[in-house]
Chains A and B, each alone.
Chain A
Amino acid sequence: MRIFVCIKQVPDSAQIRVHPVTNTIMRQGVPTIINPYDLFGLEEALRLRDRFGGEVTVMTMGPPMASDSLRKALTYGADRAVLLTDRFFAGSDTLATSYALANLIQKASENWGQPDIVFCGKQTIDGDTAQVGPGIARRLGLTQLTYVSSIDEIDPSHGTITVRRRADHGVQVLQSRLPAMITMMEGSNEIRRGRIEDALRAASAEVVQWNAAAAGITDLGHCGLRGSPTVVKKVFAPPSREEKATLVGEGAANPAAVANDLITQIFARQPVLEGDLMHAAARH
């Protein structure tokens, strides 16, 4: 199977703060991550490749530093990475982004063959629009399977696929044709830890870099700010919600691991506690 996975490098929203006085987003020193929703698609792609053979190509449009995220995807086990980067793409909204990515996919298809599946994130944590995946599908004439919670069956030779899709009032079981654009629901799988061989390969692999021209994009009027009709009128910090208690890890197979995770999260938020505990540990 040939699978393309679109990912986006985003600021780690857990670590972004809005300046209390100026109300601007404080980006300084905020680390970047792969949009978490994209990882569900990447893992699904890797599983399909492991089952049916083939290759997984990850791709993104972004600034040169987005290659960090692509390299990370290689560490998880992807076979190839492509970065579309050009100043003409700066300021793209979802329309311009889907235009660029659709062209990127087309160019990649010419080089490495048509994909059976294109995975996109359900949405991004910094834009939250959920429009890019469907935009790509529409532009390339791919079947759209959004909010997929599992892939039940897939028959590459007949080009059919059966998925479960989360809908408003239940679960739909959909049978459809390939090639398809799929967005996976969160929690449908968990990104693997790549093997040491993947980590080594990723460290020395080359990330393919194309600019607009190399990707065959000539109509720059569809790109970046010029190709983006969306206007951001105002950015503001919503008032924070009151904390609510939640029940976590009920009936989990490994409660220790759940607890461990929670403690790590608490420490990340309450570093003072960690210092105290280190101190207490030192006493013993």
Chain B
Amino acid sequence: MKQNHFDAIVVGAGPSGNAAAYTLAQRGLNVLQIERGEYAGSKNVQGAILYADALEKIIPDFRDEAPLERHIVEQRVWMMDDAGHTGMHHRSDDYNEDKPNRYTILRAQFDKWFSRCVKEAGATVIYETTVTSLMRDASGWVVGVHTDRNGEGITADVVILAEGVNGLVGRTSGLREELKPENVALAVKEMHFLPQEVIDARFNLKGNEGVVIEAMGTITEGMVGTAFLYTNRESISVGIGCMVSDFTDVGQATPHGLLDRFKAHPSIRALLEGSEIKEYAAHLIPEGGYRAIPELVGNGWLVVGDAGHFVNAVHREGSNLAMTTGRLAAETVADIILSGGSCSRHNLAAYVEAVKDSFVMKDMKKYKDIHGFLKKGRHVVDLYPRLMNRAAQTWFRVDGVDKKSKESTIVREAWRARGIGGLMGDAFKLMRAWR
């Protein structure tokens, strides 16, 4: 074997790259993983929800060692207007189970742990090294990578691009198009530190229980987007994100302006009171959905995770799709290499099939129209939350008006705001997009 030759090179050490490198190393392949950051997670936005299932399929007993913050027992979905919110809360003691389904994590710590697992599984991992381009042979087949360090390029049978949403290598190598503003959201996020007891008391939690709040409404000033708040053990992650194209075409607000407003909102302010802000980060999320998924395989390469645009924006899932696609890519590659095959586009197509058979592509497909719907139907993020909050007020205020009149006021307001055709049309379109 040549000194600098590997079975596979994985570009990036986020959830998708770690899942791929770990799976390959477990299967006994000689893997090199290259990460640009000082350590895995150093470039990653803090605070996130981890979906256990995707990780369990890679590291079944991860709960014993992974740095987890809290498991989620309560979900709050809020429709906000400027004065408050109307929403749904779902909480169940059933979530206090042996193997909880969702956790809050701090990405910097989690990614670092995952990266250690990758190394322990036998992969070679180098940090502070940026892959600058793909190495190709005369026929255009990808045979390795060049990096920003002096020295020769490194060759491999296959290169797995797990480089995240910006995916410069794939883009500059012509494997993918430039990101379109209407296909990416820009999210900003802060970490607010508070003592554990204070968080427990404010959110009605005990032990490692955690809460997630997702919110939409007038807080995004008419742009398509959502805000969120997660409880970690001794901190709260709070953030907001909107489509990049909306920041330019619709709203006047800056991302941190939106976040400041969200934090000052009467429904949120008290939850964060007295906290110390420690980290602020801005990051892109590929939210173009099914139609934005690029070419996934070629001769000598495949794409996984955010670089492959695998994010389910409706359910706020990203890292689980990243881990699943990373695992499926690695399984495909391992099957090919261990049976002595070549990593041709034709053989790697088995990865695309595996993704299609999994929840990943099924979910991407299910919501393929939601994107277009929201783009045209902005009233969903602005008008409806307003109406809902007004309706709730009309309903709950006791002011000498009879109930029947109250009901007709509610209906009339909705009618006046959107018209019967609009209401029906929205319902119909939403149903179709959701189907």
Which A positions have Cβ atoms within 8 angstroms of B? 17, 20, 28-29, 31, 75, 193-197, 199-200, 202-204, 271-272, 274-276, 278-279, 282-283
Report the Cα distance A275→B239, complex, angstroms.
12
Query: Once the chains are docked, how many angstroms separate the CA of A200 from the CA of B33?
Result: 10
- The residue from B42, B108, B151, B255 contacting A196, defined by CB atoms under 8 A apart: B151
Complex CA gap A271/B128 in Å reads 21
Please tell me if the beta carbons of B244 and A282 are within 8 angstroms of each other in the complex.
yes
Closest CB-CB distance, A63 to chain B, in whole Å?
16
Further contacts, 20 of them, CB under 8 A, given A197-B151, A200-B4: A20-B276, A28-B234, A29-B108, A29-B109, A29-B278, A195-B149, A196-B129, A196-B152, A199-B128, A200-B126, A203-B124, A204-B124, A272-B256, A275-B256, A275-B280, A276-B256, A278-B186, A279-B186, A282-B181, A283-B248
Q: Which residues of B contact A274 (CB under 8 A)?
A: 282
Q: Are A275 and B124 in touch, CB under 8 angstroms?
A: no
- What's the least CB distance linking A255 to chain B, in Å? 22
* In the complex, chain B residues 144-166 whose Cβ is within 8 Å of any chain A Cβ: 147, 149-152, 154
Q: CB < 8 Å: which of A31, A195, A200, A204 contacts B150?
A: A195
Residues from chain A with a CB closer than 8 A to the CB of B151 are: 195-197
- Chain A contacts of B109 at CB under 8 A? 29
Contacts of B247 in A (CB 8 A): 279, 282-283
CB within 8 Å: A-B pair count: 74
Assess the A278–B126 pair: CB atoms within 8 A.
Answer: no
User: Does chain A have a CB within 8 A of B427?
Assistant: no
Shortest distance in angstroms between B205's beta carbon and chain A's nearest beta carbon?
A: 20
Cβ–Cβ contact A275 & B188, under 8 A = yes
A65 smallest CB distance to B (angstroms): 11
Q: In the complex, what distance in Å separates the CA atom of A194 from the CA atom of B244?
A: 38
**Shortest CB–CB separation between residue B55 and chain A, in angstroms?**
22
Q: Answer whether residue B423 sits at the interface, using C-beta atoms and an 8 A cutoff.
A: no
Interface size on B, residues (CB 8 A): 35
Given contacts A200-B126, A203-B124, contact A193 B150 (CB under 8 A): yes
Interface status of B88 (Cβ within 8 A of chain A): no
Residue of A with least CB distance to B187: A275
Chain A residues closer than 8 Å to B279, beta-carbon distance: 271
Tell me the minimal C-beta distance from A42 to chain B in angstroms.
Answer: 16
CB-CB nearest in chain A for B149: A196
Which parts of B405-434 form the interface with A (CB within 8 Å)? Answer: none
Contacts of A279 in B (CB 8 A): 186, 247, 254-255, 282
Name 28 A/B residue pairs within 8 A (Cβ), A-sorted. Answer: A29-B106, A29-B109, A31-B38, A31-B39, A31-B42, A75-B128, A193-B150, A194-B149, A195-B151, A196-B150, A196-B154, A197-B152, A203-B126, A204-B124, A271-B279, A271-B280, A271-B281, A272-B280, A275-B280, A275-B282, A276-B256, A278-B282, A279-B186, A279-B254, A279-B255, A279-B282, A282-B186, A282-B247
The verdict on B125 contacting chain A, using a C-beta distance below 8 Å, is yes
* Interface contact A200-B124, CB-CB below 8 Å: yes
Q: How far is the CA of A17 from the CA of B256 in the complex (A)?
A: 23
- Inter-chain contact B147/A196, CB cutoff 8 Å: yes
Residues of chain A lying within 8 A (CB to CB) of residue B150: 193, 195-196
Closest chain B CB from A19 CB (angstroms): 8
Q: Which residues of A contact B255 (CB under 8 A)?
A: 275-276, 278-279
Interface flags, B373-403, vs A, CB<8A=1, else 0: 0000000000000000000000000000000
Which residues of B (275-290) have their CB < 8 Å from a CB of A?
276, 278-282
CA distance A13 to B158 in the complex (A): 41
- Known: A200-B4, A276-B254. Is A282-B124 also a contact (CB below 8 A)? no
